């Protein structure tokens, strides 16, 4: 585990449309106005500090819609400042990897920031960081159980931009700082969880992240 994670000034960056199946499904939308083409650069969003939560957190969600999508993924923890790095050198800037539950209210609109859906309090549970040298990202698989029942599995070899290329493309226009976390993105068909559910995300060789889903209470 890397000490002091997440770092005091860390930013968690999510990336959309980094799964080949999702991109193919949405391609007809991108061919229409106003864009008339799929994005050429990574489409990013931020998970601010109010979303950060740890293992065994209880994620509170609103009664409407009463469910959340579990966009489970792996986060790349940046170990040294990265600006305009090449894909061949990109992984030298990664200190470790972490299992992340990128919780979001279900939505399909990619044309404006989904702040209300993605940035609610506690909507980014993260596990312990494993040093990069101890984990082979190229062989990674991710499994989700809800209430002890397997509901989802994905391989990480179907990324539009694999980790090194994603870092290279992101740092072409912005700097990633020490402690920042760059998420690899969700897979197609992420499962839905509801209040009372227990979520378990496992990446063999990297670890397990557990959290529950609870109904939001008004102050």
Q: Tell me the per-residue pLDDT of 134-180, one tens digit each, with 9 for 90 and over.
A: 888 888 999 999 999 999 999 998 899 999 999 999 999 999 999 99
Within a domain: 4: no
Kind plus residue range of the DSSP H or E element containing 90 = helix 87-90
Within a domain: 21: yes
| pLDDT value of residue 111 | 62
Within a domain: 1: no
Within a domain: 81: yes
| pLDDT(193) > 70 | yes
Q: How far apart are CA 104 and CA 120, in angstroms?
A: 8
Within a domain: 74: yes
Q: Are 61 and 105 in contact (CB under 8 A)?
A: yes
CATH of the domain at 198: 3.90.850.10
Alpha helices by DSSP H, listed for the chain, are 20-30, 87-90, 115-118, 163-170
The 3-state DSSP class for residue 95 equals strand
Within a domain: 17: yes
Q: What is the CA radius of gyration of the chain?
A: 17
Kind plus residue range of the DSSP H or E element containing 22 = helix 20-30
Within a domain: 5: no
Q: What is the pLDDT of residues 29-49, one digit of tens each?
A: 777 766 677 778 898 999 999
Full residue range of the structural domain in which residue 22 is found: 12-215
Q: How far apart are CA 37 and CA 79, in angstroms?
A: 34
Q: How far apart are CA 75 and CA 98, in angstroms?
A: 5
Q: 24: pLDDT confidence band, cut at 50, 70 and 90? A: confident
| pLDDT(114) > 90 | no
Within a domain: 7: no
Alpha helices by DSSP H, listed for 113-189, are 115-118, 163-170
The total number of structural domains in the chain stands at 1
Q: How far apart are CA 104 and CA 206, in angstroms?
A: 23
Q: How far apart are CA 49 and CA 148, in angstroms?
A: 29
């Amino acid at each position: 585990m890397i000490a002091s994670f997440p770092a005091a000034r860390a930013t968690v960056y999510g990336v959309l449309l980094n799964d080949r199946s999702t991109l193919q499904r949405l391609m007809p939308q991108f061919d229409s106005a106003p864009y008339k083409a799929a994005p050429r650069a990574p489409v990013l969003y931020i998970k601010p500090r109010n979303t950060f939560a740890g293992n065994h957190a209880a994620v509170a969600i609103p009664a409407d819609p009463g469910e959340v999508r579990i966009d489970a993924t792996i986060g790349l923890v940046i170990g040294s400042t990265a600006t305009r790095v090449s894909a061949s050198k990109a992984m030298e800037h990664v200190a470790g990897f972490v299992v992340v539950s990128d919780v979001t209210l279900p939505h399909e609109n990619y044309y404006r920031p989904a702040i209300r859906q993605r940035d609610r309090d506690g909507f980014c549970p993260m596990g312990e960081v494993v040093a990069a040298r101890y984990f082979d990202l190229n062989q990674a698989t991710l499994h989700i159980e809800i209430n002890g029942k397997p509901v989802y599995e994905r391989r990480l070899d179907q990324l539009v931009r694999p980790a090194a290329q994603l870092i290279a493309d992101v740092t072409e226009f912005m700097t990633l700082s020490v402690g920042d976390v760059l998420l690899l993105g969700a897979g197609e068909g992420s499962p839905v969880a509801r209040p009372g559910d227990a979520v378990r995300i496992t990446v063999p060789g990297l670890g397990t992240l557990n959290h529950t889903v609870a109904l939001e209470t008004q102050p």
